[in-house]
Amino acid sequence: MNSMEEVARQLLKSDDYLILGHVIPDGDCIGSLLGLYWGLTDSGKQVAMVLADSAPDRYDYLSGWEMIKKPSELEVIPANIIFLDCADRERVGEEILAKIDGHTCVYNIDHHLQSELYGDYNYVDPGAAATGEIIFALLQAMQVPIRAEIADCLYAALLMDTGGFLNSNTTSGTMRIAASLLELGADVDQARIRLFESKSRREVLLLGLALKYIEFSGDGRIAWMSLPYEEVKAIEALDFHPEGIINYTRMIAGVEVGLLFRETEPGIIKIGFRSKGAIDVAAIAAVYGGGGHRQASGARQEGTLEEIKKKVINTVEDVMA
């Protein structure tokens, strides 16, 4: 593990960077990516950004959103690779991993618990509510002025990974950083409108489908929703991955653990886990090769939707027994 100051000094030494985020990017991934992009660009660096999956349109108000490339659009690979918000290298996707194979200088900046520090330079702080918190501190260590456009990006990162500052990962430090970002020009009204009050028709249809298939355990402490592949395909939402649908399970009185089972392709199930109490869903997700945070985690399994649901729900029930 390197210190923040070591990472800051090293970033200032080189001139060309490729910043990578994880597949199915969320607000923290996108906001951190753009915030660091502008910080490095303002420092005179040549910087490219790549995501395996497109950043959702709700984030297009963030400066630089349109400059995020797909792996196929990357013709030249910079010498320095920065992984953001990725608990392991594989989170960036197979296509980009194949392209960067053999590049030696890797930065790993994240706030998830990691089983292995895979970078040449590593700064991983599981106590940070979002990777955006780390980027804020990193830009300060680099003595990069945080202008309003950067503040918007980092504010979105914090806002989305804390569930609007309501999740238990929110700390007093998180709130101080958020206050600083507002003082630096982050537009709180635009963030609210674009991130929470501008849902697309596809997102509403997807929510309706998930609610159609909501189920509960006998004691009402577990709720789960399902999104079957063919029905998601019918509403043309296969490539659409909104962040908030699973939270509807956690909104229900008496529910302690909420789950979302999404069949992303036939035989491949993405599982979302949410907790609002003492249950550590990161530990449950780890049983299925996933991970994340104590109250918000995810995993991926192969099998039929029904068999994966049965297996995971049995695990959750055993933990809660």
CATH code of the domain in which 228 resides: 3.10.310.30
Spatial distance between the Cα atoms of 100 and 68, rounded to a whole number of angstroms = 17
The residue out of 196, 226, 250 marking a domain boundary is 196
Residues 134 and 274 in one domain: no
Spatial distance between the Cα atoms of 60 and 228, rounded to a whole number of angstroms = 29
Spatial distance between the Cα atoms of 260 and 263, rounded to a whole number of angstroms = 10
DSSP 27-70: HHHHHHHHHHHHHHHHTT-EEEEE-SSPPPGGGTTSTTGGGPBP
One pLDDT digit (tens) per residue for the chain, 321 residues: 999 999 999 999 999 999 999 998 999 999 999 999 999 999 999 999 999 999 999 999 999 999 999 999 988 899 999 999 999 999 999 999 998 887 679 999 999 988 899 999 999 999 999 999 999 999 999 999 999 999 999 999 999 999 899 888 899 999 999 999 999 999 999 999 999 999 889 999 999 999 999 999 999 999 999 999 999 999 999 988 888 899 999 999 999 999 999 999 999 999 999 998 789 999 999 999 988 888 889 999 999 999 999 999 999 999 998
Residues 123 and 245 in one domain: no
Q: Specify the pLDDT at position 254.
A: 95
pTM (2 d.p.)? 0.86
Spatial distance between the Cα atoms of 154 and 30, rounded to a whole number of angstroms = 9
The residue out of 139, 165, 196 marking a domain boundary is 196
Spatial distance between the Cα atoms of 275 and 175, rounded to a whole number of angstroms = 22
Residues 133 and 255 in one domain: no
The answer to whether the beta carbons of residues 313 and 302 sit under 8 Å apart is: no
* Strand-strand pairing, 46-50 and 80-84: unpaired
Domain that residue 82 falls in? 4-196
Residues 166 and 243 in one domain: no
Q: Of the candidates 11, 8, 56, 114, which has an alpha carbon nearest to the alpha carbon of residue 239?
A: 56
Residues 277 and 239 in one domain: yes
Query: Domain tally for the chain?
Result: 2
- Which CATH number belongs to the domain containing residue 94 in this structure? 3.90.1640.10
Spatial distance between the Cα atoms of 141 and 120, rounded to a whole number of angstroms = 19
